[in-house]
Amino acid sequence: KARRSYGLKIHKRVNHTGERPYACEICDRKYPDCGALNFHMRSRHTEDKIKQDQPHWNYKCDTCGRKFVMEDRYNRHVAAHASDQPYQCYSCDFKTNSRNSIIRHLSNRHGEKNFVCSHCDYRTAMKSDFSDHMLRHSGTRPYMCDVCGFSAASRSTLTSHKRVHSEKNITCEYCDFRTSRRQSMKGHMRRHTGDRPYECTFCGYKAAQKGTLTKHIEVIHNKNGSSKKPRAPRKTPAKQTASNVDSGQSAVTSQNTSSQEVYPPLNQQSVNTNYSQHHLQHHN
């Protein structure tokens, strides 16, 4: 019970509150749990630096007096004092130079999501986002990429797609994974936190990715999932939390309650090639 409670606390910090109470004394990076901080210290700083009682504060902010070890951290901090990002969220650390961006952020992140899709569980606080979402159900894809011809139902999807053609500048703080899409990083982080938000209504199977759940329903319950009557979800073992990154990798626990086998994390290719065999074995 204590382990599940701690895992829930980490999940809330990573996905909802953004709280990072554990800070590195050398480079000022912050993490949601002590395990992630320990992993960072071992992988990013040498043993000699860790043993130093006082780090070398080479940079000091003239505005607020805060000190920094690394120049890039100092430069980002000084930029925050400048007027190029005058709009700041009162609930989190989000900053922007656009009034429309701060309005959208407040609505999407902290406002009530009153626009509800009748075809799926999508909810949003923005009418424009809701209109774009409904295009996905109609099959209309009016936004086209001028690089490769990819078409999308919403402008935001096209914007996200275009990052594929740019540098992968979003990096995971726990491993070497890099991506150009924030949504891809969000899905990747579930491998470290153990979060599995997508649940099958027929057998209780839980997945970290929506595509994995869709494939599960197609393989186990037929394509439309109508071959079996839904039943109440079964209890699942405790989730893997971000504190397990000390080992350098996470693990996924089988949903079969009669077994406590632990499987290594699956990449997308292994899911596609071995999915049918794995789940037919553990659901029959």
Burial label for 182, CB within 10 Å (0-12, 13-18, 19+), is exposed
pLDDT higher than 50, residue 266: no
What are the domain boundaries of the chain? 2-85, 109-186, 197-235+251-283
What's the pTM?
0.29
Q: CA 277 → CA 166, 224, 260, 271, distances in Å?
A: 36, 20, 19, 10
Q: Is 56 left (phi over 0), alpha (psi -120 to 50) or beta?
A: beta
User: Are 2-85 and 109-186 in the same CATH fold?
Assistant: yes
Q: What is the domain class of 109-186 according to CATH?
A: alpha beta
Q: Provide the CA 91 distance to its chain's centre, in angstroms.
A: 19
Per-residue pLDDT tens over the stretch 90-105: 677 777 766 777 777 7
Q: For residue 220, what pLDDT is reported?
A: 87
3-state SS class at 68: strand
Q: What is the domain class of 2-85 according to CATH?
A: alpha beta
The three state secondary structure string of 252-277 is EECCCCCCCCEECCCCHHHHHHHHHH
State the pLDDT confidence band at 89, using cuts at 50, 70 and 90: confident
State the pLDDT confidence band at 283, using cuts at 50, 70 and 90: low
Q: Are 205 and 216 in contact (CB under 8 A)?
A: yes
Q: For residue 108, what pLDDT is reported?
A: 73
- Amino acid identity at 10: I
Which segments within the chain are labelled E, that is strand? Answer: 22-23, 30-31, 59-60, 67-68, 87-88, 95-96, 115-116, 123-124, 143-144, 151-152, 170-171, 178-179, 198-199, 206-207, 252-253, 262-263
pLDDT higher than 50, residue 35: yes
- Whole-angstrom Cα distance, residue 245 to residue 81? 34
More confident residue, 46 or 222: 222
Tell me how crowded residue 207 is: count the other CB atoms within 10 A of its CB. Answer: 21
Per-residue pLDDT tens over the stretch 198-253: 889 889 888 888 888 888 888 888 755 444 444 444 434 444 444 444 444 443 43
